A and B are shown apart, each in its own frame.
Chain A
Amino acid sequence: MDNSDNKVLRLNNFEDFGPSRLKLLKHIENDCLEYLVSVGYSYVDPPILESADLFLKKSLGSTSSSTYTFMDLENRLVSMRPDFTASVIRLIFDNYKEESFISKACYSGPVFRYEPATSDSVQLYQVGAEFLGQKGNKSDLELLSNSIKCLDLVGIKNYKIDLGHVGIVRELILQKGFGNSIAELVLNNLQNFYEKDWEENLIFKAKQLNLINLNNKEKDSLIPEDILSKYKDKLSSDLGMRAQEDIINRFVSKVASQVTIEEIKECINLVKKIMNMSIKEFLNNDNEVNFDSDNCRDFRNLLGNLQNILGEERALTLNLTLTRNLAYYNGIVFDIKSDKDIILGGGGRYDDLPSRLGYDFDQGCLGFAINLTKTTEVIGY
């Protein structure tokens, strides 16, 4: 008898995996891991549950609202891993020092991300790799080649790669004389670049953030004594734990980086030119934007080599709007998509991550992951 009031239902946004899907998933997982181990990656398996701090430090909190975090039975704040990267890096640095150091590690298993706005599954299966100890486009190319090889092994056809580079866009904005605050604002909003009101919204946000000198008036004096005299009453009120000197110093640096409305529009035009550039234009450097730094040259080489590897049947798109999680990536960023634009995986370079997690290491760090949950969906089971 079906007593529906007593039934305990499966949690929303969690999926059951039946035998055929699980068989496919395990098959793909094994093929990828076997390949990665054969090219020198060590298979590791960190715990699903880690101190919440590990993931907070990794993302600077930007993913904390989608991470399952709770107090455990010993009153420790713990999180179910939202991805593998931070755990794998912790595992390597905690266990494998000096001669035994593992510079290439691969992994597989479930990760947990709560995205209330979508119906996406909370529990995702991933297989992926981390690569420590090399900077420059040689390791970028190796990582991309390995992720391509994994996808080829699992039998996905006609996939596409969107490739961007966080560092290059930032570099160009700074080269043209705009400050860090403007660069951050633009980069943070690049993922909405193709939306209709992008330009308007960007200017609106810049105004809200006080990055624009609205009246085009002469900037106020930035001499601390003048500021102290102008804001005497406010600065002599209760400032809490902040020192008057710190407030004035920050005020000076903030006002100094303000731009006029014409200048922000000039920056927007520059960004539009960069974003609308094709791979061919970028490779030939024949656009009026002059890409001539070491980073740009390296990236140009990478694009050329990658085009050769992918051939004509798999599309490569230059997508400099790929700027997800800026607190984290500092070089290449890529998405691997099915022919119907379902994201099957991705990765990039995050050289600062080991030091952010507290390890004294500055020799490069990058990785990729393939979403097995989506991949099995696309292949069909």
Chain B
Amino acid sequence: MNSKLSEKLRILLPSSGSLAEGSISFMAQKGINIEKESDRKLFGKIKGFPEVEIFFQRSGDIPLSIDRGMGHFGITGLDRYLEHCEGSKNSCVIKDNLKFGDSKLVVAVPDGWIDVTSISDLVEVCYEFKQNNNNLRLATKYPNLVRRKLDEFGITNVVLVTASGGLEAAPMIGYADIIADITVTGNTMKENNLRPLLDGVLFKSQAAFISSNLIPNKLKKSSNAIIDKINL
């Protein structure tokens, strides 16, 4: 950890989207009021905690920043954390359900696949693809999480195609056959002729409070004060 970082306790919060609003509200509910000079500024401070600094990052970048010691505490989606850092010894989840930022990682197939309604159907479809010398391709932003979950179902013949956005169009464009994506209502999937599987929820996620395991001793007093205040 660099020397500059270890001078103050650094908290990383999402910079945009519902997780950003939820994080600010969550902290405020706990009596931690974040002061930010303008909406464009990507750093701020907390009234009454001069030894703490706040940085705003994309929620997807926060897990690795914490894991690599660039911040001490952070709020991000549990799905994002597990995707990048599950099993890491450098960081941990202090609380995994902050009661906002709900989302589900769901597997969806083309609506015309009337024979496929559950994950177990996919096992047979994988074999069908294999017999035709193809692999079933699944597009997702969460390859690690999806791979682990599919392994649990014994589905190993799927080729994961990592994509960053617009996954619902992947089967129509042709770079994947099915998708696993975050959804709240499933409407976008439906409008793009995709149907979530009945047991296709691979993972349910909320905002999580995460911590580095490398907080220096001299910042322990500040970090304990934050933990006490947030009452996790």
Contact = CB atoms under 8 A, between A and B. Distances in A.
Interface of A: 12, 56, 60-62, 64-65, 116, 208-210, 227, 231, 234-242, 246-248, 250-251, 254, 327
Contact of B114 (A61, A62, A64, A247): A247
Contact of B152 (A65, A227, A242, A248): A65
B193 A238 contact: yes
A306 B52 CA distance: 70
A64 B151 contact: yes
Interface string B108-130: 00111111011011001100110
Contacts of A227: 114
A307 B92 CA distance: 52
Interface of B: 87, 89, 110-115, 117-118, 120-121, 124-125, 128-129, 132, 134, 148, 151-152, 154-157, 171-172, 174, 177, 193, 198-199
Nearest to A56: B156
A210 B120 CA distance: 10
B89 A12 contact: yes
B198 A251 contact: no
Tell which of A116, A241, A242 has the most Cβ of chain B within 10 Å: A242
Contact of B154 (A12, A61, A237): A61
Contacts of A241: 129, 132, 134, 177
A240 B138 CA distance: 12
A180 to B, nearest CB: 11
Contacts of A242: 113, 125, 128, 177
Nearest to B195: A234
Given A208-B199, A241-B129, A250-B128, A60 B156 contact: yes
Contacts of A116: 87
A113 B49 CA distance: 46
A65 B155 CA distance: 12
B210 to A, nearest CB: 18
A236 B154 contact: no
Contacts, number: 75
Given A61-B156, A208-B118, A210-B118, A238 B198 contact: no
A246 B112 CA distance: 12
Given A209-B120, A239-B112, A247-B112, 8 more contacts: A61-B154, A61-B155, A62-B151, A64-B156, A241-B132, A242-B177, A247-B114, A250-B125
A239 B171 CA distance: 8
Tell which of A61, A116, A231, A251 has the most Cβ of chain B within 10 Å: A61
A27 to B, nearest CB: 35
A106 B87 CA distance: 35
23 contacts: A61-B154, A61-B156, A62-B154, A64-B151, A65-B148, A116-B87, A208-B198, A208-B199, A209-B118, A209-B199, A227-B114, A231-B112, A234-B112, A235-B112, A237-B112, A237-B193, A238-B172, A239-B110, A239-B112, A240-B177, A241-B129, A242-B128, A247-B113
Contacts of A251: 114-115
A198 B21 CA distance: 44
A61 B151 contact: yes
Contacts of B128: 242, 246, 250
Contacts of A65: 148, 151-152
A356 to B, nearest CB: 13
B167 to A, nearest CB: 14
B120 A239 contact: no
Contacts of B157: 61
A12 B132 CA distance: 44
Nearest to B171: A240
A326 B151 CA distance: 15
Contacts of A209: 118, 120, 199
B213 to A, nearest CB: 12
A69 to B, nearest CB: 11
Contacts of B124: 250
Contact of A240 (B87, B110, B156): B110
Contacts of B125: 242, 250
A204 to B, nearest CB: 10
B121 to A, nearest CB: 7
A238 B111 CA distance: 8
A247 B115 contact: yes
A254 B118 CA distance: 12
A241 B129 CA distance: 9
Contact of B198 (A210, A239, A240): A210
A242 B151 CA distance: 23
Nearest to B170: A240
Contacts of B193: 237-238
B174 A240 contact: yes
Contacts of A240: 110, 171, 174, 177
A313 to B, nearest CB: 40
A246 B113 CA distance: 10
A234 B114 CA distance: 8
B112 A236 contact: yes
A240 to B, nearest CB: 5
A64 B147 CA distance: 10
